[in-house]
Amino acid sequence: MDMFGLTPMEWEALKLSLWISFWAVSGSLPLGILTAWILARVNFPGKGIFDGIVHLPLVLPPVVTGYMLLVLFGRKGPLGAFMRDQFGFSLAFNWKGAALAAAVMAFPLMVRAVRLSIESVDQGFESAARTLGARPLRVFFTVTLPLTLPGIISGMILAFARSLGEFGATITFVSNIPGQTQTLPLALYTLTQVPGGETSAMRLCVLSVGVSMVALFFSEMAARRFSKRLKG
């Protein structure tokens, strides 16, 4: 154990969880903002179906989501085999697949936070910018996006916290491999299955709660700070 009382296995699980959560949020953020803008600003046939698909991971059992990812992105799946043959890499049973599983599970929370923020933006500002000759893309980047920033930050940190706690889809899609896919929840599960693992399991439990609380605290603080700055 080190000075914090964590074993090398526990440190590895913590670092891997933070790494996977970072890439899960970073990789899904552009698509999340685009999806939120479409749901907030665009009307089209089948919008309700599209909205339901986006939020499907919230209501599906995580194991079902993980199995669907395994079928699609597994080494013999249509997308997984294509990526392996064309680009030489695989998502199954490594940290990249764990990041994908975490991103899919956290994506609805990110989209919802950003969408609510976009819907709260006064469209009069956007109309005024278009009247002054700004193109739609410039209106989005210079008006809509800055006003939506508090919601984007909240969505990012909520998605990060959700990614830290992801279990079912991860273990189904990429298994529980120490040093590769064994995140904090999976390490905690492993420790509960071995004799004498209760102490380590309790440490990881406290650590998981602490990291999640810190993420939620910074989400609230950042959102309030940017809201005050925008109002000012």
How far is the C-alpha of 113 from the C-alpha of 151, rounded, in Å?
5
For residue 141, the number of C-alpha atoms closer than 13 Å in the C-beta half-sphere is 5
> Would the CA dihedral through 60, 30, 185, 174 be positive or negative?
positive
Per-residue pLDDT at 2: 47
Q: Which two tokens stand for residue 64?
A: 């079902």
What's the CATH fold of domain 8-120+147-231? MetI-like fold (1.10.3720)
Whole-number pLDDT of residue 5: 65
Contact 210, 134 (CB under 8 A): no
The pLDDT of residue 179? 85
As a whole number of angstroms, the distance between CA 45 and CA 218 comes to 38
Q: What's this model's pTM, rounded to 2 decimal places?
A: 0.88
DSSP assignment of 39-85 equals HHH---TTHHHHHHHHTHHHHS-HHHHHHHHHHHHSTTSHHHHHHHH
Query: For residue 56, what pLDDT is reported?
Result: 94
Output the pLDDT for position 66: 94
Regions in the chain scoring below 50 on pLDDT: 2-3
How do the domains of the chain map onto residue ranges?
8-120+147-231
